[in-house]
Every structure is written in structure tokens, then in C-alpha cells.
Structure 1
Amino acid sequence: MATMHTFTATTEPQIDIDDVARLVTPDGERIADPDLERWIADVDTAMLQSLYRDMVLVRRVDTEGVALQRQGQLGLWAPCQGQEATQVGTARGFRADDFVFPSYREIGVQHVRGAKPEDFVLAWRGESHSTYNPYDINTASPQIIIGAQSLHAVGYAMGIQRDGTDQVAAAYFGDGASSQGDVNEAMVFASSFRAPVIFVCTNNQWAISEPVTVQAKFPIAGRAPGFGIPSMRVDGNDVLACLAAMRWAADIARRGGGPAFIEAVTYRMGPHTTSDDPTRYRDKEEVERWRHRDPIARVEALLRKMDAFDDAFAAQVGADADALGAEVRAAALGAVTRPAIEVFDDVYAEPHTGLTEQRAWYGSYLDGFDTEAA
């Protein structure tokens, strides 16, 4: 089941992007893998269509986010094009009461967990610190600090242990974050305390402008067994394999088996963020090779082979994407910036004298501008 591997040290990189657990080829052909298929035995045609729909909607949100940033409506945007299968597939493997700790790029995870249209844009617009209450959708605010969410997830998982429930926690991070101390420290704690946490490493081949081969000479999933954590290296552009991988990992954690690790091998088709220019460090040929592995086109091809993709279905999904896109745009364009003085409102749960003094000083400062204008 592509869980544990034995690696031999060598001076040359030994990373094969096709050495992954997979259920659907890039051409939409199903692969027989009994070990994986047991985890998706309930996936019928309707569920496969819903997975396709989720990925299309996520791509539409992403497209709108990029456009809104280019139009000056958002300060920044972290695109996820190409990573929809990793995000949607793994997120669909959670229960509603599980708690997820995403990075700044997990648009698809937030969508599956129940984020509203405005939740995707208001923080990037600078209108609020976090655009949803984490406890409404059991998903933490997207983390900007690279890898920090892995520690948060382990801490939450250790709390689950003390509550005596069978929930799981999960942390999403990229291949670049796997080199951070936070991620490795989190894995030490998770393994030592057998915390019910799942580490999802989205290996999209680039840590901003550095290729994964600079920091990982061997598959990242091979590191986890060194911490005593079972791992799986999965095709991150195969939504069924990603769903199966998460169910496999969650089963380990729920049964008291401790943490599990998933490396989802995928590709970031766009820039790291909208402040980045990937043409300065990536070859066009590489991008085009990955374009042929598109996760959405892969499921469409599979559905067509099943006679489950027709004009009516495509039109309905397209209409749903248009509607969501319009709501995301409306949320950004209709946002009302709060008065500047309210920057102090959400700093602490309880007010204190130091904050009161700062607020009073800032209020006087703002009043000075009003007096001058008058």
C-alpha cells in the first residue's frame, strides 16, 4: 500500500513522481489496488460526481481570488490551481467533528469544511484577522507562519486524548515546511505521545523558488518512519487516492494507533503567491507536463468512461461555479472597511488597561486628522 519504504543513501536524488499510491491514471483509467480500494468501497457514481463538483468550485474560487488581487481588491492571494485533488480528496476523509489546521493555500479544505464565500477573501483584503470562527467549521485560521500549524495540531490532538474521544486533528503543510523545525518537533511529540494527528505534506514541487530536490533527496514520506510514524506517498492529483489515504490515516489515529503521515505528490501550477513570478525559476516544459496531469480533467475522463458525464451535468456544475464565483466577488467588492479604531477590538479576549491606554492615544491621533480636515 505504498506505506513504508526502505531507502539507501546515495549521492544522487532518487525521487520518482510516479512512485505513488494511485487509483486513477492521468488519462482517467482506474487502477486495481485492493489495499487502497478497501478505503473507498462506498464511493459510487454520485459521490465521484460530487468530488468533481467540489474541485471545480474550488478552482473557481481560486480563479476569482487571483483576479480580485490583480484588480487591487485583495492585498495578496495564494493560488491552489493543480492541488484541488489533494485538498478536496483528503478533506472529504474527515468527520465534521475532526479539527483541521491548514496553511494559507488550503482553499479546497476550507471549502469542504463549510467556509462561506466571504471567508475566502475578507482576510486577504485586510478587513479582519480571520474571516470565520474556527469552531463553526472545526478548522483553524489559515496559518501564515511556515509549519507552525503542525505544532498546533499536535497540541489539539493531545487534548483529544485527554478528552477520551475518537476525533482526529490534522495539519497541512508544504514540502518547504517539511524542512522547518516546527514540523519535525511536532512529529517527535506526536510519535512520543501517540497523538491522534495526521500530517498532510502537500509536495507541490516548489518551496517558493526552490525545487523540492534541493531539500529532499528522497521522498518526504520516507522521513516519517524515522519518527515511528507510518506514512503513505500518494498521487496528489488523484482525488480517489487522496480520499483513500486520509481514511487510512484517520483509521490509524482513531483506533489509538498514533499519528500518520501523507505525502501528496502534486504541482503548484501558478505562482507561490500573487507577488511571485514563477517564470523566473521554472521551465515551461515542466509546467506543461504537469498540466497533462490535471486533477479535474482526470476525474472528468473517468466519469466519461462511466457514462456519468454529460452536457446537463457539466452545465449544472458550471452554473454552481458561476454562482459561487459571483458570491466571492460580491463579498470582496461589497466589503465595508471597519473604522480604524476597531483594530484594537480583537487583540485580546479580555480588555486590559494597557490596551485601553493605547486605544485612547490612537483615538486622539485619529481625532487630530478630523480636526485638521474640518
Structure 2
Amino acid sequence: MGILFCSPQVEFEIIREEWMKSISDLGQRGVFVGGPVVSDFEERFAEYTGVPASVGVGNGTDALFIALKALGIGPGDEVITVANTFIATVEAIHHTGALPVLVDCNADDFLIDIKQVMASVTSRTKAIIAVHLYGQMVDLKELIPWASERGIFILEDSAQAAGARLKGKAAGSWGTLGCFSFYPDKNLGALGDGGMINVTSESLLPVLHKLRNHGGVVRYQHEIPGFNSRLDPIQAIALKLKLKYLDEWSEHRRLTARMYENYLGEFDSVILPSHRGDESHVFHLYVVRVDRKSRDELRKQLQKKGILTAVQYPVPVHLTPAFKYLGYEKGSFPNTESFSEEIISLPMNIQMNEASVKTISNEIIKSL
């Protein structure tokens, strides 16, 4: 057997017995949509992340979209985010009718360039989505007051950063709204799709509850045009069980990152990820950079040895056919474009140990 890239199956084995019992109890009660199981997890997640409330939705993309809709964002508005992100961030903006405005990432840490954000604001800018990419938090301490003075909302795309904390404050608790994905391979992953919106102002709760449930909170009373995007209780059970392990799993990921640094830190052909060395990175992904000419061949050689890797992401959002209409050309975001040709995501999961990191590192050194 090779080295797993991610390990949702390992996590499932940890919660299997409790989950199966809870599912049996759920089946006997017959509450298969919403109900106390979902409410309980929402309350626990809000407490864990230090916000007044959390609202479960169907997936991480819906979390971003519904969050934007709750803020009244639509046609004629602009929302700024980073080109170096998964396409869902930009899709959510697009489907509100607002215009996605992209900026480049930093040259060292893959994260959104705050100076470029500030330079891109116009009179139509209504929100900024900061993406905590690969598990590392964007430092928002300067941007939040700057944006607030201008009436601009800050949303956090925390899809990859559940459990991260910067200066003791959790990802998803800094901005107006924080959005999470519980896709199975995430650090806090469901057994299917799931998402969450963290609320830092309870005044937004009523509209979020309505938007996720056909525009109302009482059956057959539809106050606004809404959507059907609810966190499934079967997923809420799994997430509640996993939540108690999240800090332990995050620390294991940071330990694994230190192991990679120990074995690859002196090898000049690999550029390791830049980070603060604290809890603000939970290493959802461990992304290194190599010469673009050798990247694909290295991946092939590793795969032959049973070592699975990935590229997050091979085509920048602005160069996809889906968002060609935005008008950005090749060369618009040099850091994002360069990284897309150089990056490799190495195995990172809770089953990693020093032997597996050593094996991976040795194979990389031999191949390069």
C-alpha cells in the first residue's frame, strides 16, 4: 500500500462506532432534515470558533453564495478576491450577479495581496473575500478597520482553515461572515457535502436562516425568495464527533510540516511553504514549489513509488474558460500564474508519520 494523500477513511474509523449508533438513533426518531442534531452542531461550532452563531448549509460554495446574498450583494456591485483560489470562491460572487474583481497573491505565502486589494477598491466595491488558502490564515488586522471605514464587508473563505487561529482568534471569526466547507477531505470533513456560515453580528441570522430554507423559517411561510441549502443531520453527527479531535489533528499536521522541513529544508531544489510557525496554519495542504520543467515528471516518479500528490490549482481562475469574460489576460497575475506551474501538494493527513515523510522526501531528492 502506498502513502495516502488525504485520509477521510482513517478519520471515519475513529468515529465509526459512535456515528453508527447516532445514525440508528436518528433513524428511530425520523428527523432526517434539520432538527436538534444540526442545531447542536451549529452551537458547538460557534462556541469552538468564538462567534455568536453558526448557520449550517449544504456545502462550502453555498456558504459563500448565501453569505453574499445575505449582505445584499448583487448586480452592479463588485467583490474583490484573490486569483489564487479554488474556483468556488469566484463562482459564488458570479452567481450573485456581482462582478468578481481579482488581485494577485503574495510572492511568498500564496495568500491574497492586501496592498493590491486596497488599490482595487472602487465606489462599487461592496465586499472583499479573503481566502485562508491551504490552511493558512490571512492577517486581517489592518484590512478590517480600513474596509469598515469605507462600508465594505469582509468575508472569510475559511474552507481550508477550520481550526486555525491567529493571535488566539479563530479563522471564520474575524470578518462580517466566515464561510466553511466540510467536504470529506477537509481538516474537519463530513461524510459527504456540508458547509457553515459563521456570524459575527446576530442581526444577520434571520436572513441567513431564511435564505437557506426557501425564504422562511416556518413551513410554507416564504418571506423572501430563498434557496434549498441545509446541513444534513447525518453529516452534522459526523462533524460533531470529529470536532472534538480537530485541535489534536491540527497539531499533528503542524508536526508533519516540521518533519518535511527537517528532511527537505536544506534541499535547494524544493521551496517549502512560508508560514508564521504558529496556530495560524493548519496545513490542510502541504504545498511545495519546484522547477516547472521538472514538476510533472516528479509527480510521475512519486506515483510509481505509491506516493500520491496533487496540484492545487493547475489553471488559475482567470485563465479558465468559465471566467474568460472577466477580461484578464495571461500575465495579469504573475505570482498566481507562476505558482500554478510550480506547485505540488505532498501527502498531508493524520496518518502521516516520520517514516512516511522520510520516504517521500528521499524520493523527491532522488528524482530531482
TM-score by shorter chain over 0.5: no
TM-score scaled to structure 2, two decimals? 0.30
**Normalising by the residue count of structure 1, what TM-score does the alignment of the two structures yield?**
0.30
Q: RCO greater where, 1 or 2, for CA within 8 Å and sep 6 or more?
A: 1
